[in-house]
Amino acid sequence: MTADPKAPRPRLTDVAEIAGVSMKTVSNVINGYVHVTEATRTRVQAAIEEVGYRPNLSARNLARGRAGVIALVVPRLEMPYFASLAGRVIEKAEARGWFVLIHETGGDLAAERAALEGHFPQRIDGLIVSAQHLTPADVRARGDRTPLVLLGEQDYGHVADHVAIDNVAAARTATEHLLEQGCRRIAMIGARPGEIEDPRAEGYQQALQAADIPVLPELMRPIHGNLGEEGERATQAMLDEVGEPPDGLFAVTDWVALGAIRALQLRGLHVPEDVAVVGFDDIPYARAVTPSLTTVAPDRSAIAEIALRMLEAQSASGETEPVDESVPFELLVRESSARRTGSGRSSA
């Protein structure tokens, strides 16, 4: 059963010899090609099991002329959203025999651009980028032909394949939930400044308008980056400027929401009694904190799967028209927005 640990690893030839077939046939079986009789397939499989054969990926990739590696570029792996996304990408890539080279940019624009240009220590077959500052112009100016998929909320205007949740709908759903909780003065922390397309701000405004509630610029606060400190600072600034505090708050990420809650509490405001809060991302802490956080949960597994399919499609067909796909999301209602019941018990 178990092979001698000192023995050299079995090769394709060894399997072929045992099964009494040619290398080509073993290769056909392993790669799932047709034109192999059922009997032969069974015999080869048995030989593979017997010697515990696993293909040498270096040899395979060398022969195929591919690196067998895709890069996943994220701001920081330490941010749980990206960590769990990375976990799903690794999982889906494994099923395709690909390695995932994880690369952190630290949210730095220059690092994001370098990644876009394929500046990696090794060759890669594809690139999945979740950027914070990259613009459509950066993507258009790209001098590299490596298959590329963009992730994240920004609208890159069909300049490359893109997959994300429907951020307008998600933000609208979050805001509608606050309205249902009885909130009438709802702030948004993390709206993007001015000119840039901001689907989450769009959804937020749509919900307010549909409820005939005016959109107040002083309640829409921009932030730089998505860190908790930023959320806290922006919320403090808002509380300093406006006379009456908001009764609801939609934060652009859970992390920002945690910072916002911190700012609210330091001002003596209670969550959810005084201010109901909704975040975005469903990071694990969302249910570990007090109060547990109501949030929008994107389907990370779907994002990973679709991104990999897009990469495969690009590898197969070369230059194609960029596509934009949406994946599902879900609103998870927890304590931070439970104004009507106020039970203090988590619903998730």
Partner DNA sequence: CTGAAAGCGCTTACAG
Question: Residue numbers of the site for its own copies (CB under 8 A)?
Answer: 2, 5-6, 9, 54-59, 61-62, 67-69, 76-80, 82-84, 86-87, 90, 94, 97, 99-102, 104, 121-123, 143-145, 227-229, 255, 258-259, 261-262, 265-266, 284-285, 287-290, 344
3-state helix, strand, coil in the chain (%, to 5): 40, 15, 40
Residue 317 touches which member of its own copies, DNA, none, C-beta under 5-8 Å by kind: none
DSSP line for 283-331: -GGGGTSSSPPEEEEE-HHHHHHHHHHHHHHHHHHSS----EEEE-EEE
Residue 228 contact partner, candidates its own copies, DNA, none, CB within 5 to 8 A by sort of partner? its own copies
d(CA 292, CA 343): 12
Asked if 65 touches DNA (CB under 7 A), the answer is: yes
Q: Does 9 bind DNA (CB under 7 A)?
A: yes
Judged by beta carbon, residue 83 or residue 101, the one nearer DNA is: 101
Minimum Å distance from CB 248 to its own copies?
19
Would you say 62 or 137 has its CB closer to DNA? 62
Strands 329-332 and 294-298: antiparallel
C-beta closer to DNA: residue 12 or 271: 12
Question: 96: left (phi > 0), else alpha (psi -120 to 50), else beta?
Answer: alpha
Q: Which residues make Cβ contacts (< 8 Å) with residue 141, sequence separation at least 6?
A: none
Which stretches of 141-253 are DSSP H helices?
167-180, 199-210, 228-241
The single residue among 1, 7, 32, 34 that binds DNA, judged by CB under 7 A, is 34
Residues contacting 107, CB < 8 A, separation 6+: 75, 76, 132, 133, 225
Does 80 contact DNA by CB under 7 A?
A: no
Q: Does 118 bind DNA (CB under 7 A)?
A: no
Q: Name which of its own copies, DNA, none residue 30 binds, using a CB cut-off of 5 to 8 Å depending on partner kind.
A: DNA
Q: State which residue, 88 or 162, has the beta carbon closest to its own copies.
A: 88
If binding is defined by CB under 7 A, does position 59 make contact with DNA? yes
Q: Which residues contact 319 (CB under 8 A, 6 or more apart)?
A: none
Least separation, in Å, of the C-beta of 316 and DNA?
12
